[in-house]
Amino acid sequence: MPKDTVHHFREASRAYSDASIFMHEAIARKAGLSSADHKYLGLILQHESITAGEISKLTGLTTGAVTGLIDRLEKKGLLKRQFIQEDRRKVIILPNIENSMQLLSPLFDELQQKTMALISTFSKKEIETIERYFREATLLMKETADHLNNR
């Protein structure tokens, strides 16, 4: 592959990554969250329920950091703790989808509309190629994070 092709791809990828970080930081500020809490809430919202240990495993955060995260998000009504009757030490985290969507949807609606308009300009084959890149790049990033977290 020509060096200039790889160079341009890396520049575009870096610009996309930076813009994504800056956009999510702006959304988080507008929602009254830290950028980290915003991203971790997004992860939690992907589950019907999740334990603090599972959050720690998924994110690489310490259990103490996860407890702080849960405290902050619970205080804002974005999730709640549910204690297990058989073992009161075990806690299940239940995301409050309604409150989270009420907070975040207005901040994402315009972006989603613009994204759909952009996607509609690509062919099915192009979209499949872009999706393949995102899925495979995501696996590489997860492998890297797991490797760094387990050092």
Q: What is the pLDDT of residues 9-61, one digit of tens each?
A: 999 999 999 999 999 999 999 999 999 999 999 999 999 999 999 999 888 89
CA–CA distances in Å: residue 148 to residues 8, 14, 59, 143, 144: 27, 20, 12, 9, 6
Are 35 and 25 in contact by the 8 Å Cβ rule? The answer is: yes
The pLDDT, as a whole number, for residue 148 is: 87
Quote the tokens at residue 5. 């092709």
State how far the alpha carbon of 115 is from the alpha carbons of 2, 109, 121, in Å.
30, 10, 10
What is the reported pLDDT for 1? Answer: 79
* CB distance 99 to 77 below 8 Å: yes
The answer, yes or no, to whether residue 96 has pLDDT greater than 90, is yes
Using CA atoms, how far residue 14 sits from 17, 111, 134, in Å, is 5, 20, 14
Q: Which fold has domain 3-120?
A: Arc Repressor Mutant, subunit A (1.10.10)
pTM above 0.95, yes or no: no
